[in-house]
Amino acid sequence: MFSEIMRKILDGTAGGVGAVLMGYDGIAIEEYFKPCEGVDLHLIAVEYANVLKEIKKTAEILQTGIMEEVSVKTERFQVVIRTITDDYFVALTLAQGGNFGKARYLLKLETQSLREALA
């Protein structure tokens, strides 16, 4: 169930190189990575899990409401992350020039299906 949804998100996004459904503890439930030279996409997801925990905490302290989406753009990649439940998130990694808007759209669209699949 997860795998179908994750594949749909990754394949539907031009420039998508990796999709992972992961806990904030850095342990992945499902992951797909396309070969990508000189970079460990799994490691990127694990490292971002740590940062996300910080952002989540910050949002709660500041009372700005639940964290819904985070994106980080570096020179080589763009990572779009969507909160699924209090324990899990999906991260989609795009290569430079990938379709950021489509990534956000698909992640938002599939949030509910992923939530149901996790329940």
Interface positions with a copy of itself (CB under 8 A) = 38-40, 43-44, 47-48, 50-51, 54-55, 58-59, 61-77
Q: How far is the CB of 3 from a copy of itself (least distance, A)?
A: 26
Backbone angles phi, psi at 13, to 5 degrees: -110, 115
Distance between CA atoms of 62 and 40, rounded to whole angstroms? 33
Backbone angles phi, psi at 60, to 5 degrees: -70, -45
Considering the complex, state which of residue 4 and residue 69 has its C-beta at the smaller distance from a copy of itself: 69
Considering the complex, state which of residue 29 and residue 46 has its C-beta at the smaller distance from a copy of itself: 46
